[in-house]
Amino acid sequence: MESTSGAHKAPLKHTPLNALHKQFGARMVPFSGYQMPVQYKAGIIKEHNHVRQVAGLFDVSHMGQAIIHGENPALNFEKLISNNITDLADGYMRYSLLTNESGGILDDLIVTRRSTDSGREDIHIVVNANRKDTDFQYIEENIDQFCTLEVLDELALIALQGPKSEEVLTRFNPRVADLVFMSSLETMINGIKCFVSRSGYTGEDGFEISLPASKTEDFTLRLLEEPEVKLVGLGARDSLRLEAGLCLYGHDIDTNTSPIEAALGWVVDKQRCELNSFPGAKSIFKQITEGVSRRRVGLLPDGPIPLRESTLIIDNVGREIGYVTSGGYSPTMERPIAMGYLEISHSNLGSKVWANLRGKKLELTVVSLPFVKHQYHRGV
């Protein structure tokens, strides 16, 4: 979901786990205005493999959390996003996009419809760290006057990801085993009221846990007492999401890319496009019906050299036909992988294109996404 941009002028912010990261030997780096752990002593590859095989714990408290409440919050917020949420059952969530009037992507986000103890309906959203101030201002300015956006700065967010995540978390509360992918509940875990969702950004089964910032360090230390759980930094989070074919805002998607170009047409409701019922719907519907000139694809380099963002892609006669948006080494596949945009005529599976590496050509093959099969628990 989020950008790795570390550009900042203001002092770096800290999450509630900042001291704990340093205690555990993390290498800290600037990330979306925060000081965040890129890796711990084990290193990115071992951390990555631990998530794929066991269970890793991530600090994602830099992400923005907010609640929209008031009169018909689902119906009113739906007017700003690309897909339906009024059909969501209580406690269920959906990946969505905030779009601008030209059909570009302002941000990608997770939207949950949930009922409170008082019977009130709320919409809970999680947005990217480097976009949260902009997103929240945009939502406040455009949401119905009978709805209110409440930013949840007092909450932290951690993610337990990997095939052993359910086994670990059910030791604290068996109810979490009832959750399926993209569902959630409010419950007590280790004596703390938490909002738990079965979701994540790794392609693995796992949970994201929203809880009071003041309780987060003690809770994290308690989870780390479980033998399966190890801390994992943002370096492995990036390689995991790349293997899963998931977009990184500011790199794979931005205000100049549309959902259709980004191969995110499944996040767009076609009927709402026809009715022009959200920003940019008319432009997006035109792309659905008439096609686009470029598309996001998976790329396998022929060789050991990882591709980096902005690497130009050319055809067999040297004409520029696209560029890389995300690239790196895949610990699971033990080879470089990448994503990028290609002219539609070169985007078919199996097509051969070339990366232009300082005048040298490296052959690439267009492949389907994800690179590594998702392991989401869908309850089937």
CATH of the domain at 355: 2.40.30.110
Task: Kindly state whether residue 258 falls inside one of the protein's structural domains.
Answer: no
If asked whether residues 227 and 301 sit together in one domain, one would say no
Task: From 243, 258, 277, give the residue that closes a domain.
Answer: 243
Which pLDDT does position 379 carry in this prediction?
86
Contact call for residues 190 and 219 (beta carbons, < 8 A) = yes
Q: Are residues 239 and 159 in the same domain?
A: yes
Q: What is the CA radius of gyration of the chain?
A: 21
In a domain, 112, yes or no: no
- Judge whether 30 and 227 are in contact, CB under 8 Å: no
**How far apart are alpha carbons 207 and 160 in whole angstroms?**
5
Give the per-residue pLDDT at 291.
Answer: 97
Helix/strand/coil for 44:
helix
Instruction: Measure the CA–CA gap between 308 and 4, rounded to whole angstroms.
Output: 13
* DSSP character at residue 13: B
d(CA 344, CA 342): 6
Tens digit of each residue's pLDDT (9 = 90 or more) over 35-92:
999 999 999 999 999 999 999 999 999 999 999 999 999 999 999 999 999 999 999 9
56 shares its domain with 159 = yes
**Residue 34 belongs to some domain of the structure:** yes
Domain shared by 309 and 209, yes or no: no
Residues 35 and 169 in one domain: yes
**Shared domain check, 164 and 59:** yes
**294 and 341 in contact (C-beta within 8 Å)?**
yes
**What are the distances in angstroms from CA 322 to CA 1, 193, 295, 314?**
22, 48, 9, 7
- Does residue 313 fall inside a structural domain? yes
Q: Are residues 196 and 334 in the same domain?
A: no
Strand order in the sheet with 229-231: 184-189, 192-197, 206-212, 155-161, 55-59, 229-231
Same domain, 195 and 334: no
What does the pLDDT read at residue 2?
54
pLDDT of the residue at 117? 72
Residue 95 falls within a domain, yes or no? no
The C-alpha atoms of residue 337 and residue 306 are separated, in whole angstroms, by 7
Per-residue model confidence (pLDDT) at position 1: 57
- Kindly state the DSSP code that residue 312 receives in the 8-state scheme: E
CA angle 227, 230, 232 (to 5 degrees): 170
**Phi, psi for 201 (deg, rounded to 5):** -130, 30
Which pLDDT value is given to residue 6? 45
- Asked if residue 339 is part of any domain, the answer here is yes
Q: Which of 89, 220, 79 is nearest to 158 (CA)?
A: 220
Walking along the chain (380 residues) 10 residues at a time, the average pLDDT comes out as 55 97 98 97 98 98 97 96 97 98 98 85 97 98 95 98 98 98 96 97 98 98 98 98 98 98 98 96 98 98 96 97 98 98 98 94 98 93
41 and 164 assigned to the same domain: yes
Query: By residue range, what is the domain housing residue 175?
Result: 18-63+154-243
* Residue 42 shares a structural domain with residue 183: yes
* CATH number, domain with residue 179: 3.30.1360.120
In a domain, 108, yes or no: no
Domain termination site, one of 211, 243, 275 = 243
Whole-angstrom Cα distance, residue 266 to residue 97? 11
Q: Which long-range contacts (CB under 8 A, 24 or more apart) does 49-52 make?
A: 49/331, 49/332, 50/162, 50/230, 50/232, 51/161, 51/162, 51/202, 51/204, 51/232, 51/236, 51/240, 52/162, 52/163, 52/204, 52/240, 52/331, 52/332, 52/372
Question: 288: part of which helix (H) or strand (E)?
Answer: helix 281-290
Closest CA to 354 of 294, 310, 303, 301: 301
The residue whose two tokens read 């170009």 is 261
* In a domain? residue 214: yes
Q: How many domains does the chain have?
A: 2
- What is the pLDDT at residue 7? 47
